[in-house]
Copies of this chain bind each other. A is one copy, B any other.
Amino acid sequence: MRAVVFDGTLRLDPDYPDPVPEEGEALVRVRLAGICNTDLEIARGYLNYRGVLGHEFVGEVVAAPDHAWVGCRVVGEINAPCRHCATCQQGNGNHCPQRTVLGIVGRDGTFADLLRLPLANLHRLPDSLSDEEAVFVEPLAAAFAILERVTVRPSDRVVVLGDGKLGQLVARVLQGVGAHLTAVGRHPAKLERLRAAGIAACQRDELPPERADVVVDCTGSAAGFLDALQLTRPRGTLVLKSTVAASLSLNLAPLVVDEITVVGSRCGPFAPAIRALATRRVDVRPLLSAVYPLTEALPALAKAAQPGVLKVALRP
């Protein structure tokens, strides 16, 4: 099959071995795959990953232990836990120390014709949901992850830092809570997309000086954390969504003096994301910047890294 492989350099392999499903796994033909900033980080060497890139996808089941799934259009959760260890038995399979992660840790990803995933990871899609919308399920679930861990009150002042792919989705999710929400970004076109969704959006220097109850860092930059820390009120909550490979020099004393809570947040629940898309409570259609054929994956990844660009997808 064709696959986008990172083995120190990034290349399109026209003849990569087809995946061979293991016990309990389905074989899925990829219909559409989304490019995430984590893919861009991995292509720079983050996590020392080697294999097929990509973890966002919509696909069709080709083979499965339960034949009722064959032919179904699906999305899939990216963590494949062992299901036996103490962490799994406590319901924290996403943190299983033995887990593989689609396109991120020890498991070939979605920028390919085919992939394999445990059947337990798959979610059927309603027919009403287009591939172009459903490819947002995984990152939208990551946005919903915030509300799984942090109580955001309707009376809270909330600031989302970053108007990129993730910030756009996080702002739309938090909008649902009814809080006083402001999204902050740098790109006029991206800010305009937020405003079109009914979300107050501004440049950083236009933000009122008053510190917020909840600040979500979706900047994707190490420096974003420092800015987020300054924007969080004493006893407020800073949610860290960006996985940034870079280190930064940090004095943690303000975090103690202001008694701030910092919550790291990663993958989230798929069902709320599918519901929000199916009902168009979250309308992601304005967020798809471009669809490239899989054979044009390298230009597509370059495109996804450009300022002003939102989601770029690959169609095998």
Contact = CB atoms under 8 A, between A and B. Distances in A.
Contact of A264 (B87, B149, B251, B256): B256
A230 interface: no
Interface string A247-277: 1111111011111111111100000000000
Most chain B beta carbons < 10 A, residue from A225, A246, A255: A255
Chain A at the B interface: SS class: mixed
Contacts of A247: 249-251
A293 B3 CA distance: 76
A242 interface: yes
Give the size category of A's interface with B: 35 or more
Given A95-B235, A234-B92, A234-B95, A262 B255 contact: yes
Interface string A220-245: 00100100000001110000111111
Contacts of A95: 233-235, 258-259
A124 B87 CA distance: 48
Contacts of A258: 95, 264
Interface of A: 87, 92, 95, 149, 222, 225, 233-235, 240-253, 255-266
20 contacts: A92-B234, A92-B235, A95-B233, A95-B235, A95-B259, A240-B252, A243-B257, A244-B252, A244-B253, A245-B253, A247-B250, A248-B252, A250-B250, A256-B265, A259-B264, A259-B266, A261-B261, A261-B264, A262-B262, A262-B263
